[in-house]
Amino acid sequence: MRDILPPESGRWRRFTAVFADVVEAAGYQQLIPPLLEDLGVFTRIGDATDVVTKEMYDFVDKGKRRVALRPEQTASVCRSFAQHRPTVPWKVFYSGPNFRYEKPQRGRYRQFDQVGIEVLGVDDPMLDVEVIALGWEFYRALGLRQVTLQLNSLGEPDDRARYVEALRTHFEAAGEQLSEQSRNTLAKNPLRVLDSKREPDQTFIESAPQIADFYSDEAAAHFDAVQVGLRALDIPFVVEPKLVRGLDYYRRTIFEFLGGTLDSAQNALGGGGRYDGLVEALGGPATPGIGFALGVDRTLIACDDEGCFDAEAPQLVAFVVDVVGGLEAAVLTTDLRAAGLSADRGYDNRSMKAQMKLANRSGASFAVIVGEQEHADGTVVIKPMHGGDQVTIPRSELIAHLSETTNS
């Protein structure tokens, strides 16, 4: 877990604002779920998921309830839907931290932020297209150009179940030749063996049965429609039959956005898919759902790599230098701020030289100086900090003068 310091922290806030702009323009509204939920909300995600079995920050609270810090937010959204029963389609977005007890490394932290959207109550493949397109558009809005989209379908639950059995048989036949980790994974979730990057597993992964051979007509038609839609929107994608995603609840469409500049172990910027069963598992009515979660931390690393969406300190208009006691600066900064002109000041009645140094460091466009003479005359000196001549003007003209200069 780490601090996000200024000016980097400002970038995080802009990140969320850009995301909100993109999805609010498509009819999504923000849901703010709690950070802490009943443990049961997350165990419904599935007990073959590392996030649930190994990485959860769960504990017993003072009321003897088993609770957990959320490892992700889709389960919370579905819990919220089951609890409040809003009208469908329910189109929500979220942003904020999640917690997973992972091995920390670059791009992988124990507290990390995600932004995401979820839509509950719609089966239409055109919604899958909309959701994926919004993720795509968001990366474009950040300025990222090297993101690729991988797409797959896990079929209907029955298709997926038959496929899982076929995979189990296939990988069991490999016996001891499979890596020890993959043998462990196989016992819990044969799909995830396809995720293995370990060398001994690769030949067996190559020769594994293909999910497409297990699709029902319905699942195949749904998946086709999604692809037709993405092509109509000119969104490039690659169908990746081995894409399975980490969480157990996915069915039918799944997708992942990969960063072109990141190491392959940490190159997933975000992903999502359909989870037409999660609301029911959380005590609600059978409700189709789809969404994605995008990792903020990793996406910002990709932005650094691609030289886009920079961290920048907010640009102050004025820095008030008051060497006559500090009260003048209190009034002037308050007036400037009220007029929409950002302003900071020096404190402790320090010398002119010391305060001018601060003005310089602040990055403000202008120093507004009140010395003995100006104090006596009711004037201020305005000194442009990035070149140009200083002027002395009546105090009453300060706001009009700075508004005009900053707008021109």
List residues binding ligand AMP (CB under 6 A): 72, 100, 102, 108-109, 112, 114, 246, 268-271, 293, 295, 297-298
Nearer to ligand AMP, 248 or 322 (CB): 248
- Is the CB of 241 or the CB of 246 nearer to ligand AMP? 246
- In this structure, what token pair is assigned to residue 302? 């990709």
Q: CB atoms < 10 A from the CB of 90, how many?
A: 22
Q: Whole-number minimum distance, CB 110 to ligand AMP, in Å?
A: 7
Output the smallest distance, CB 149 to ligand AMP, in A: 13
Nearest distance, CB of residue 396 and ligand AMP, angstroms: 53
In angstroms, rounded to a whole number, what is the distance separating the alpha carbons of residues 260 and 216? 34
What residues pair up with 270 in beta bridges, in sequence order? 257, 294
Compute CA distances 142 → 232, 281, 303, 330, 390, whole Å.
23, 36, 8, 38, 38
Whichever of 108 and 337 has its CB closer to ligand AMP, that residue is 108
213, burial (CB in 10 Å: exposed 0-12, middle 13-18, buried 19+): exposed
Least distance in angstroms from the C-beta of 72 to ligand AMP = 5
The residue sitting closest to ligand AMP, measured at its beta carbon, is: 295
Taking the complex as a whole, how short is the minimal distance between the CB of residue 111 and ligand AMP, in angstroms? 8
Give whichever of 113 and 276 is closer to ligand AMP, judged by the CB atom: 113
Sign of the alpha-carbon torsion through 22, 18, 150, 236: positive
Select 108 or 168, whichever has its Cβ closest to ligand AMP.
Answer: 108
> Which residue lies nearer to ligand AMP by CB, 138 or 214?
138
Q: How far is the CB of 145 from ligand AMP (least distance, A)?
A: 18
Query: Strand 238-239 relative to strand 147-153: parallel, antiparallel, unpaired?
Result: parallel
What distance in Å separates the CA atoms of residue 229 and residue 244, rounded to the nearest whole number?
A: 22
